[in-house]
Chains A and B, each alone.
Chain A
Amino acid sequence: DADVTQTPRNRITKTGKRIMLECSQTKGHDRMYWYRQDPGLGLRLIYYSFDVKDINKGEISDGYSVSRQAQAKFSLSLESAIPNQTALYFCATSSRANYGYTFGSGTRLTVV
C-alpha cells in the first residue's frame, strides 16, 4: 500500500458543485500539505497543517477549505468548484525530523 493515498485519482465535476479530495497517510507524520499543480507553474501551496489542531493557509487558499480529521487524514474541499480550479492536486506529508516531503499520486480534477 502507498504511504500517502489520495482519493479519487480522477474526478470530473460541474461548476458550482461541492467536491472533497481526501488524503490519508501511514507514515506517522504530523505535517500534511495540499498543493496544486498547473502546467508550467510548478506546485503551489493551498493549505498546510503541522498537527491536528493547526491549520494554515498557503499562497492560494481562496476557494478552498481543509479539514484535519486525524493525524493521518487531511481533506481538501472546493465549496463551489469553478473551471480555473481544474488542476492536479497533491497531498504531501513530512515530519519534524525530516523536511523532505512524501507525496501522494495526485488527483486530477476537471471542472466543466
Chain B
Amino acid sequence: GESVGLHLPTLSVQEGDNSIINCAYSNSASDYFIWYKQESGKGPQFIIDIRSNMDKRQGQRVTVLLNKTVKHLSLQIAATQPGDSAVYFCAENRGAGNKLTFGGGTRVLVKP
C-alpha cells in the first residue's frame, strides 16, 4: 500500500485491550468533529462524529469524548481487534459552511 504517514505517531496496543487516540484542535469556534479511519490503500472512512454541544458520544465499540475547555478530542476503541489497525484522523469543522480540517493522524498497530 501507499506510505500514508511515514512519520506519524504510533500507538501499539495488544489485541483485546482498549485504545485511546488523542487529538488537539485549535479553533474554539469549531462546532463539529469527526473521527476517520484509513486503512492501507483506501480512502478515509467515517467512524463517529460529535457536535460541540455534546461531551460524549458512543457507537459500536467506539466512544468519542470532547473537552471544549482544553480543546481536546479523543477516540476510545474497546477490545481492539486486528482489523482496527489503521491510521486514525480527527477532523474539525471550523465554522460557517462545511469544510473539514484534518489532524496529522495516529497510526494504531494491534499486536496479536
Question: In the complex, A103 Cα to B41 Cα: how many Å?
Answer: 12
Contact A103 B43 (CB under 8 A): yes
* B97→A50 contact, CB < 8 A: yes
| Contact between A106 and B43, CB atoms less than 8 A apart | yes
Whether A43 contacts B98 in the complex (CB less than 8 A), given A103-B45, A105-B43, A108-B2, comes out as: no
Per-residue A-contact encoding for B31-45, CB less than 8 Å = 1, 0 else? 010101000011111
Are B43 and A104 in contact (CB-based, < 8 A)?
Answer: yes
Q: Which of A42, A88, A94 contacts B98 (CB 8 A)?
A: A94
Residue-by-residue, is B82-104 near A (CB-CB < 8 Å gives 1, otherwise 0)? 00000001000100011111111
Whether A90 touches B43, Cβ cut-off 8 Å, given contacts A40-B104, A42-B103, A42-B104, is yes
Majority DSSP secondary structure for residues of B touching A: loop
Q: Is there an interface contact between B5 and A39, defined as CB atoms closer than 8 Å?
A: yes
Do B89 and A39 touch across chains, with their CB atoms under 8 A apart?
no
Beyond A48-B99, A94-B98, A101-B100, whether A88 also contacts B44 by CB under 8 A is no
Q: A55 within 8 Å of B by Cβ?
A: no
Within 21-78 of A, Cβ neighbours of B (below 8 Å) are at 31, 33, 35, 37, 39-45, 48, 50, 58
Q: How large is the interface on B (under 10, 10 to 19, 20 to 34, 35 or more residues)?
A: 20 to 34
19 further interface pairs, Cβ-Cβ under 8 Å (given A35-B102, A99-B93, A102-B46): A33-B99, A39-B6, A40-B5, A40-B105, A41-B104, A42-B104, A50-B98, A92-B43, A99-B32, A99-B34, A99-B49, A99-B98, A100-B46, A101-B44, A103-B36, A103-B44, A104-B43, A105-B43, A106-B42
A interface residues, Cβ below 8 angstroms from B: 4, 31, 33, 35, 37, 39-45, 48, 50, 58, 88, 90, 92, 94, 96, 99-106, 108
B contact residues vs A (CB 8 Å cutoff) = 2-8, 32, 34, 36, 41-46, 49, 89, 93, 97-105
